[in-house]
Chains A and B, each alone.
Chain A
Amino acid sequence: MKNGLLIIHPAITTTPEKVEIQKNLAESQNVNIDNQYLITKIQDESVSLINDNYDVVYYLTPEKLEDMKFSERLISTIGKSMKIGGQFFGLSDKFKLNALLNGFIVIPEEQSEGLGYHWVKKEDKNSSQAAAVSLAPVSLKKKSITKATNGKLPTFVRKNANPLPSFKPAVASQAEQHDQDIDDDEGVDKNKQALLASLLNNSEQESFSEKDLIDARVSSAREDKITAVECIHTGVKRKKACKDCSCGLKEEEEAEIDGVRAAQDRVVVQFTPAELTEIDFTIEGKKVGGCGSCTLGDAFRCDGCPYLGLPAFTPGQAINLTAISDDL
């Protein structure tokens, strides 16, 4: 039995019989479907494929051949998971260049010995670089690609595994596939539009309540599917005390505030309420701390600065803060 991988487009779930048909077909070809994944899971790396593992890969999608979307990165990922000589069914000549760049050869229908159009993994990707270079210009929908690459032949850069792709001069393969901008007009589903219009103005329908939704969720136990973040930053964060703090953090905060205010009292000159019109306080002379940053404001002061909690200032200058009448 050969090792098989079945990849499905999520929309296929509306026509589950197609999956059944594919599985039967696999059996008839002596292929055991070891794994079945949604394309999205492979795409976002929530499943990883073992290298050099599959004899056959099938891709099922309800999309029409000419409308199909498939990223270069995915072709590369799948290629790596296949054995040399492995067969990949499901894509089309639309991605021919990517096939070639990723070590596949394309078997057209008439040469497929009845299997239908498919790709065969010929070699490991690295060794295909020479091929990439020679393939470069000729048969593509080029548009302004040469301009973008400054006239040099595009070099094939293996897309790294980081989520954020690095921006090298436009690789030809991407251009072929991504010659569309996101804002290109693709048209909308007219049936959905009509349905929306008819439901929108009809207020006499039943709706689900939030309670219904929670019940549906609870009964299907779908809570565990949350993305886990790989935490780069360690270290405990200082948090604020809760309103009704009972663990003592509030008292600590109050003590800290008292301490800071006491330190401020030592460096400011306070005016009596009678003298107080516009000026709250002035900072005497050049009483500055060791780090020399006291005048720069809290964003630059050190933890023990006596001026913490006061605005930035120039030494000796009266701070002209408009006192709000019912303050303190």
Chain B
Amino acid sequence: MAAKKIALLYGSETGNAHDFATVLSHKLHRLHFDHTLSTLADYNIEDIISCKYLFIICSTTGQGELPRNVWERATGDDRLNTLWSFLKKKQLPTNFLNHINVGFLGLGDFSYPKFNYAIRMLEERIVNQLGANEIFDRLEADEISMAGSNKNTGAGIESVYFEFEKKIVAYLMDRFPNRKVNGQIINREPIDKELYLQPPSFLELDTDSKTTESLIRSLELNGNQDEQNKFLHDSSIKYANIVENVRITSEDHFQDIRKFVFKGEKSNDEYSPGDTAAIFPCNSDEAVMRFLDVQPHWKAVADKPLKFTNGIPKDLQNGGVIEAITLRNLLKYHFDISSVPRSSFFLKVWMFATDQKRLERGKEQLDDQREKLYQFGTSEDMQDLFDYCNRPRRSILEVLEDFLSLRLPWEYAADYLPIIKPRLYSISSAPNDPCIELTVAIVKYRTILRHIRKGVCTTYMSSLNKGDRLRYKIFNNNLLVKKQKTKPWILVSPGVGIAPMMSFIRSDFANDITLYFGNRYFHKDFIYRDILENWDSTGKIKLYTCFSRDREASPDVKYVQDILWKHGKELTKLIVKQNAYFYLCGSSGKMPVQVRLTFVEMLKKWGEFSTPTDAEKYLSNMEKEDRYLQETW
């Protein structure tokens, strides 16, 4: 098939950019504009030569970085060989992309200093260095505080997105107001909004007898079905068995933190401090049953073998696809029915609000539900959607239970239901230890919804017992590859930020380590206390702790930055005179900001710099040279 002239590529970490890309793709399809919709990493590199119109939506993540699905493919081998890695090659001439017209939309968080760095890096290379023609000046939105959106005028992220959409549609419609059908030129009219846009590949019954036989065989097998289930189409997926899963905070503490240990079936994982394990969760059987109860017409087909009409969709392949494809299995292992639906979900399914039978007030209620769903999917304001779904963290399952008029066609489920994503956790075990250890806080919180909110992955993990099987991958982040082992290291980690620090200390990479560890209560969440105090007494590390809600255990310091300040003079000397390394790990938000501020003040006070600006420059340099490392989530 010839490569498409229009490419809509996205880089997404939390799903926002993905959702906007899906909405734009939907719009382009309605106007008969054939195009490729893909992550930047999964785009076929050779296709860039045939591409004429390129639209990129990209978030900024971490410390001003590109999301993983920009530079790494989700599945297969050779995952780092992507379009972006290709475009960065120095040998490319400055007019290499001058055949392309491009438009950019960046999503970021204005509270970070490196606001929207990702989209700016892409623009720099693609436009300024490789000659692509920018159709309009890039758009930047602020996902969180809105202050930084829209040249700092504070427009909501959706306003910026819809401006992006308008510009692109106007541009394409101006160039191609007509289209060819069977050799004839006709006006380009949009497809009726009541019509569902059939995806290129969707589900159908698999009547092949071989498939049915193997499915019957797998269902008949005794014991834990998970043991037998195989996942195909992702050669990089791995399997492991649980070794240990214990709570390490006290029972009366509000937070449940687990020491979670698993052993890979192949036991050959290579990893270093700073590396992460991706865990691929699944839904509970109860959740699956609930879904089938609210879409009862699926029940008759729930365990029948299915196949895709045109190949397994790309989105589904990360982590492998369950070998026995049935609706029940898809609901359990792949469809993220516990996630909060986004506007693209409503955009795709509103027209299936057709069933009056379960509604108390008949046709009137049906019309109201239909209209409400349509609004959720198309309103440029998105405020109602935010109030109904995002704020209370309402799940797709709960939305379906509220909107009983929805009668969803199972054939297209892989198109309108989001796919479960893996979650990443920093590894705590010593490098290359076949028993991989994670330190995981189970996510549980309240909203106005009666049922307590739970994290999909942590709930899955907390339910696993010794011997149970899970799917995982290891991501090597190359934190320490070039670092000096002989330098002193200052480690700062509140709470579960301790995870990679444990690996670091166990690695014996450095021998001059000072660890600043902050928690809330000495007797409730001082996790790994025995190990850490032991390391402190043997001189392996110097340990300093503080407890923010425990005035008895730490009377004069509350947070880690307080102890840093307390030791300001000595620490600054270590940093400036001995070129010490600084590694901060923990929750994102104010903590890293406070720590960095404290650090700057320390340098100013004790660093013996000529001016305060010099002190700030010194820290900037440290960050550039990877001497000030930060990992927050």
Contacts and interface: CB of A to CB of B under 8 A. Distances in A.
Nearest to B186: A148
B383 A237 contact: yes
B137 A40 contact: no
Interface in A177-193: 178-186, 188-189, 192-193
Nearest to A223: B120
A322 to B, nearest CB: 5
The interface centre, meaning the residue of A73, A195, A210, A243 with most chain B CB atoms within 10 A of its CB, is: A210
Contacts of B2: 185
A233 interface: yes
Interface in B382-423: 383, 386-388, 390-392, 394, 398, 401-404
Given A165-B173, A309-B449, A148 B187 contact: yes
B26 interface: no
B482 interface: no
A227 B167 CA distance: 11
Contact of B150 (A195, A200, A205, A231): A231
Q: Which of B135, B144, B189, B449 has the most CB of A within 10 A?
A: B449
Contacts of B34: 182-183
Interface stretch (B14-22, B245-253, B282-290, B522-530): B282-290
A308 B387 CA distance: 12
Contact of B89 (A165, A206, A211): A206
B290 A322 contact: yes
A195 B98 contact: no
Contacts of B52: 186
B184 A174 contact: no
Nearest to B445: A257
A211 B125 CA distance: 12
B37 to A, nearest CB: 16
Contacts of A297: 402-403
A143 B145 CA distance: 54
A116 B372 CA distance: 62
Given A196-B48, A217-B124, A225 B65 contact: no
Nearest to B136: A44
A226 interface: yes
Given A148-B187, A237-B156, A257 B178 contact: no
Contacts of B155: 229, 231
A300 B189 contact: no
B630 interface: no
B90 A206 contact: yes
A242 B153 contact: no
B189 A167 contact: yes
Contacts of B386: 237-238
A232 B49 contact: no
B139 A226 contact: yes
Contacts of A73: 174
Interface string B339-382: 00000000000000000000010000100110010000000110
A309 B186 contact: no
A328 interface: yes
A190 to B, nearest CB: 9
A148 B360 CA distance: 47
Contact of B180 (A40, A148, A181): A181
Interface stretch (B232-240, B497-505, B584-592): B584-592
Nearest to A175: B185
A182 B179 contact: yes
Interface size class of A (residues with CB under 8 A): 35 or more
Nearest to A292: B361
B139 to A, nearest CB: 5
A227 B168 CA distance: 13
B587 A300 contact: no
A240 B2 CA distance: 46
Interface stretch (A52-60, A82-90, A101-109, A310-318): A310-318
Nearest to A62: B98
Given A206-B89, A226-B138, A238-B387, A181 B178 contact: yes
A124 B589 CA distance: 60
Nearest to A227: B137
Nearest to B181: A181
B72 interface: no
A276 interface: no
Contacts of A324: 284, 286, 454
A274 interface: no
A10 interface: yes
B590 A246 contact: yes
Contact of A44 (B46, B159, B167, B404): B167
Interface string B106-135: 000000000001001100110011010111
Nearest to B96: A192
Contacts of A299: 369, 372, 388, 402-403
B573 interface: no
A226 B402 contact: no
Contacts of B120: 214, 217, 223
A301 to B, nearest CB: 10
B285 to A, nearest CB: 10
B175 to A, nearest CB: 7
A240 B392 CA distance: 10
Contacts of A211: 624
Given A182-B179, A229-B159, A298-B388, A257 B136 contact: no
A20 interface: no
Nearest to A11: B98
A205 B90 contact: yes
Interface in B1-56: 2, 5-6, 33-34, 45-46, 48-50, 52
A163 B179 contact: no
A220 B50 CA distance: 31
A88 to B, nearest CB: 20
Contacts of A239: 144-146
B446 interface: yes
A257 B448 contact: yes
A281 B451 CA distance: 11
Contacts of A310: 450
A79 to B, nearest CB: 17
B163 A226 contact: no
B170 interface: yes
Contacts of A185: 2
B603 interface: no
Interface string B79-107: 00000011011111101101100000000
A145 B448 CA distance: 59
Interface in B136-163: 136-140, 144-146, 150-151, 153, 155-156, 159-160, 163
Interface of B: 2, 5-6, 33-34, 45-46, 48-50, 52, 64-66, 85-86, 88-93, 95-96, 98-99, 117, 120-121, 124-125, 128-129, 131, 133-140, 144-146, 150-151, 153, 155-156, 159-160, 163, 166-167, 169-180, 184-189, 284, 286, 289-290, 360, 365, 368-369, 372, 380-381, 383, 386-388, 390-392, 394, 398, 401-404, 446-452, 454, 587-591, 624
Interface of A: 10-11, 14, 40, 44, 46, 69, 71, 73, 143-145, 147-148, 163-165, 167, 169-170, 174-175, 178-186, 188-189, 192-193, 195-197, 199-200, 205-211, 213-214, 216-217, 220, 222-223, 225-229, 231-233, 235, 237-240, 242-244, 246, 256-257, 260-261, 264, 280-281, 295-300, 308-312, 314, 321-322, 324, 327-328
22 contacts: A10-B133, A14-B95, A40-B134, A73-B174, A167-B189, A170-B186, A179-B178, A182-B33, A205-B91, A226-B137, A227-B136, A229-B159, A229-B163, A231-B153, A233-B380, A237-B156, A242-B589, A257-B446, A261-B450, A280-B450, A281-B450, A308-B448
Q: What are the 9 closest A-B residue pairs judged by CB atoms, nearest first?
A: A297-B402, A163-B170, A181-B180, A207-B88, A309-B448, A244-B589, A260-B448, A229-B163, A227-B137
